[in-house]
């Protein structure tokens, strides 16, 4: 049976359009058609009631949600709980993110993601390993006791093939060119983050295949007049992607506006860096034995160190529109289309067009989520 999404404002590759139905069969969009099209008349109709249909949001950095943290229990059940929590906020694709940990925990996390993909857990696209090959000088909330230089066994573990994508955040000054090349040649998406590298080291890493930058501005060397640092290299390079945490706490809105203006269009993407409070009634969680409390949208340690975020993707989109001043359609692409391209999934995800996955977010006039669809199935509705 064909399902027709009708009576909505649809974000297409040509911007917002009305008067078209979106036709879905199984998990795939088969086309956009006028209401008079015989396929629409024959289809089961889903009336959007004038609401906005967006491509599903894709979050490349999700540490937790629904009261659970991936590091605490790297299992399929944890991944499922995180996905269900974030689906309430329009996330239809995500990378469970493991912050710096021991090799045994990393291996379990990779296996869990592999199993989750094999079992068809809604939304899971792969794994993000944030560390442990990062810089103590820019550790953020990571545990420096877990940091190490990547050895042959580490590289083999990270590079082993599985059902989804693998994203690795590392400090480029902590690995050799040969390690970077081996990772990239084996299909690992490498990002620079939690790094004390200078401009020259960062430019070299980009030349070796580094594809992006994890939470731009945070935990990296800043852009200054005589040392452009990691931030300067990231903004100068027009081919790489940058993740932005738009919560009003990690980065000042003015800095976000400058960065977005400097970078090539389609290369800025929204991430949440979300922690367990997202989608949970409990604002507290434990990290490295310390209780973290989310208050006023900020997750912090007792000494004021940011510990991830309490941000969801729908809020990130609203903030990008209202706090940063980005047009709604572009903010939605920063949450869906551009992350899909970054992950190498641009031919299947991130667009509302024929041949793409039927992953949707339905938003009301205030830009709040009313429905989330993954693979042609409604997984959340208010």
Give the model confidence (pLDDT) of 234-286 as tens digits: 999 999 999 999 999 999 999 999 999 999 989 999 999 999 999 999 999 99
Annotation: binding site for Zn(2+): 130, 194, 215
> Does residue 12 belong to any structural domain of this protein?
yes
Average pLDDT over residues 299-308: 87
The answer to whether residue 175 is domain-embedded is: yes
Is pLDDT above 80 for 162? no
Q: Which residues are catalytic?
A: 273
Max CA separation in the chain (angstroms): 65
Structural domain count, the chain? 2
Predicted confidence (pLDDT) per residue in 80-126, tens digit: 999 999 999 999 999 999 999 999 999 999 999 999 999 999 999 99
Do both 261 and 356 map to the same domain? no
Single pTM value for the model:
0.97
Tell me, yes or no, whether 272 and 365 share the same domain: no
Shared-domain flag, residues 375 and 327: no
Same domain, 151 and 141: yes
Structural domain of 32 = 2-54+352-381
Same domain? 225 vs 289? yes
Structural domain includes residue 347: no
162 and 301 both lie in a single domain: yes
The annotation places the binding site at 130, 141, 194, 215, 218-219, 226, 250, 306-308
In CATH, what number is assigned to the domain containing residue 43? 2.30.40.10
Are 40 and 133 in a shared domain? no
By DSSP bridging, strand 91-99 and strand 57-62 are: parallel
Same domain, 91 and 222: yes
**pLDDT confidence of residue 306:** 87
| Residues 6+ away with beta carbon under 8 Å from 133 | 147, 148, 149, 150, 154, 168, 170, 171, 174, 175
Residues 128 and 195 in one domain: yes
- Together in a domain, 108 and 213: yes
State the binding site for substrate: 141, 218-219, 226, 250, 306-308
Give domain status of residue 222, yes or no. yes
Q: Do 267 and 145 belong to one domain?
A: yes
- Whether the per-residue pLDDT at 305 is higher than 90: the answer is no
Q: Which residues fall within 8 angstroms of residue 361, CB to CB, at 6 or more apart? A: 53, 54, 55, 56, 57, 90, 92, 314, 336, 369, 371, 372, 373
Backbone angles phi, psi at 120, to 5 degrees: 75, 30
36 with 136, same domain: the answer is no
């Amino acid at each position: 049976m064909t399902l027709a999404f009708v009576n909505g404002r649809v974000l297409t590759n040509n911007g917002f359009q009305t008067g078209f139905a979106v036709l879905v069969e199984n998990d795939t969009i088969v086309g956009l058609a006028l209401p008079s099209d015989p396929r629409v008349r024959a289809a089961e109709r889903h009336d959007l009631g004038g609401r906005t249909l967006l491509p599903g949001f894709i979050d490349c950095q999700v540490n937790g949600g629904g009261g659970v943290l991936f590091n605490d229990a790297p299992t399929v059940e944890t991944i499922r709980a995180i996905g269900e929590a974030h689906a309430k906020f329009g996330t239809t694709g995500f990378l469970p993110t493991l912050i710096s940990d021991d090799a045994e925990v990393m291996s379990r996390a990779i296996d869990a993601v592999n199993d989750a993909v094999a079992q068809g857990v809604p939304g899971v696209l792969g794994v993000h390993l944030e560390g442990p090959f990062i810089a103590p000088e820019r550790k953020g909330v990571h545990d420096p006791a877990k940091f190490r230089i990547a050895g042959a066994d580490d590289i083999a573990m990270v590079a082993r093939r599985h059902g989804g994508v693998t994203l690795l955040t590392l400090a480029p000054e902590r690995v050799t060119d040969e390690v970077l090349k081996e990772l990239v040649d084996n299909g690992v998406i490498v990002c620079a983050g939690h790094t004390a590298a200078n401009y020259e080291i960062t430019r070299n890493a980009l030349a070796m295949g580094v594809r992006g930058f994890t939470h731009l501005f945070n935990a990296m060397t800043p852009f200054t007049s005589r040392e452009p640092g990691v931030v300067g290299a990231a903004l100068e390079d027009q081919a790489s992607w940058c993740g932005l945490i738009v919560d009003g706490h990690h980065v000042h809105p003015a800095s976000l506006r400058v960065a977005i203006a400097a970078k090539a269009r389609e290369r800025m993407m929204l991430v949440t860096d979300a922690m367990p409070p997202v989608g949970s009634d409990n604002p507290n969680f434990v990290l490295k034995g310390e209780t973290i409390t989310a208050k006023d949208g900020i997750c912090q340690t007792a000494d004021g160190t940011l510990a991830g975020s309490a941000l969801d993707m729908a809020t990130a989109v609203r903030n990008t529109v209202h706090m940063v001043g980005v047009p709604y359609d572009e903010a939605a692409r920063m949450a869906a289309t551009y992350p899909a391209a970054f992950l190498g999934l641009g031919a299947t995800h991130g667009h509302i067009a024929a041949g793409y996955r039927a992953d949707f977010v339905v938003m009301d006039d205030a830009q709040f989520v009313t429905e989330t669809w993954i693979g042609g199935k409604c997984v959340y509705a208010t």
